[in-house]
């Protein structure tokens, strides 16, 4: 069969010559100038300035449209108030003298005067730490802690065998009672998880002072109390006095304490304990007294420093400041509270 149309029908005819292209400029004449408004140097610079070769390892240039990152805010250091440091140093010295002299009144069958002194210090501890840390159900926690303090002192005096087991049971019972008291109220139930640490510190600190009564019933325990608490009191006092004169180098801008006070206080407290050890009878020696005094002094000054960091953290978190007296009594009281079980442990290990 043959097609009805010619095969060449409908097809475009290709020219025999080359395809037409853009007209080239006439030889010997320059190209025609560009039409449009003239381009200024400013526009040329905006479109693209002179490029510079980037070296190896050099970061790429950031465009002007990139948003600059916000600079970190510089926090000015907290001012160290000299009268306040001197006041805290005086309170630490008075507290240490009271505890050491109270330990000297203790004797076989005559523990009540020392127990009354310890109970007064425990009440100060409860007042300062509950007002500073403000756990939920503050009055309930304070009341339970005061009751635990009284029961701990009675148990430390009346038990047949001097030991820490009854005090440990009372600490656990007081902590559970304080937590359950916070769970009862619906308002405080939301914050009870956040306040577990504060409640535990208050109860354990109260019980820690009771270890001094137990230690006074052990042979050479009264002398150990004298050495350890003297070293702790001297360390706390010298550390605060050094902060009043030379708070350098600053450990943190938000904490008005210096490293020189912490180091010098611990060193002088250790020296004083070694001197006391040379005047005490066996089993004390200057070396043993220096060792147990060093542990007590370092524990006391570090506890005092930790209280300052905790207070700075609460202020930075936006919490309102607490009572002035309670806030500044917290450090020395916490230092002596942790120095008491440290003295008991060192007496059991080295004497």
DSSP string covering 29-97: SPPPPPPSSPPPHHHHHHH-----PPPTTPPPPPPTTSPPPPPPPPPPPPP--HHHHHHHHHHHHHHHH
Average of pLDDT values for 271-289? Answer: 92
Higher pLDDT, 28 or 106: 106
Quote the pLDDT of residue 3. Answer: 47
Quote the pLDDT of residue 107. Answer: 80
pTM of the model: 0.78
Quote the pLDDT of residue 59. Answer: 53
pLDDT more than 70, % of the chain: 76
Confidence class for position 10, pLDDT limits 50, 70, 90: very low
Q: What is the dihedral of CA 261, 92, 299, 276, to 10 degrees?
A: 90
Confidence class for position 62, pLDDT limits 50, 70, 90: low
By three-state DSSP, how is residue 107 classified? Answer: strand
Q: Give the phi and the psi of residue 252 in degrees, each rounded to 5.
A: -160, 145
Higher pLDDT, 38 or 224: 224
Q: pLDDT per residue over 158-203, tens digit each?
A: 998 889 999 999 999 999 999 888 888 766 566 677 678 889 999 9
Instruction: Report which DSSP code applies to 105.
Output: T
Residue 208 pLDDT more than 60?
A: yes
Confidence class for position 74, pLDDT limits 50, 70, 90: low
The number of CA neighbours under 13 Å toward the Cβ of 62 is 6
By three-state DSSP, how is residue 252 classified? Answer: strand
- Preceding amide of 283 cis, omega within 30: yes
């Amino acid at each position: 069969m043959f097609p009805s149309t010619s095969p060449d029908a409908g097809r475009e005819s290709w020219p025999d010559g080359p395809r037409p292209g853009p007209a080239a400029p006439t030889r010997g004449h320059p190209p025609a100038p560009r039409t449009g408004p003239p381009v200024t140097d400013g526009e040329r610079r905006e479109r693209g300035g002179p490029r510079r070769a980037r070296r190896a390892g050099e970061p790429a240039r950031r465009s002007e449209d990139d948003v600059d990152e916000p600079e970190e805010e510089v926090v000015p250091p907290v001012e160290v108030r000299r009268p306040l440091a001197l006041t805290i140093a005086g309170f630490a010295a008075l507290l240490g003298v009271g505890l050491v002299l109270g330990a000297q009144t203790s004797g076989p069958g005559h523990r009540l005067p020392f127990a009354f002194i310890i109970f007064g210090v425990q009440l100060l501890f409860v007042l300062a730490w509950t007002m500073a840390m403000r756990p939920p159900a503050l009055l309930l926690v304070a009341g339970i802690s005061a009751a635990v303090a009284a029961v701990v002192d009675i148990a430390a005096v009346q038990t047949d065998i001097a030991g820490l087991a009854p005090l440990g049971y009372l600490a656990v019972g007081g902590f559970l009672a304080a937590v359950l008291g916070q769970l009862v109220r619906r308002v405080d139930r939301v914050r009870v998880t956040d306040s577990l640490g504060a409640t535990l510190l208050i109860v354990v600190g109260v019980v820690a002072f009771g270890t001094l009564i137990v230690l006074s019933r052990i042979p050479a325990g009264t002398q150990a109390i004298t050495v350890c608490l003297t070293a702790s009191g001297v360390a706390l006092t010298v550390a605060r006095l050094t902060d009043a004169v030379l708070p350098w180098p600053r450990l943190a801008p938000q904490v008005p304490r210096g490293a020189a006070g912490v180091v010098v206080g611990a060193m002088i407290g250790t020296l004083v304990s070694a001197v006391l050890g040379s005047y005490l009878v066996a089993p004390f020696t200057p070396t043993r007294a220096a060792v147990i005094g060093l542990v007590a002094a370092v524990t006391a000054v570090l506890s005092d420093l930790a209280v300052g960091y905790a207070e700075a953290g609460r202020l930075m978190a936006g919490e309102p400041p607490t009572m002035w007296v309670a806030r500044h009594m917290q450090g020395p009281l916490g230092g002596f509270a942790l120095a008491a079980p440290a003295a008991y442990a060192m007496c059991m290990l080295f004497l």
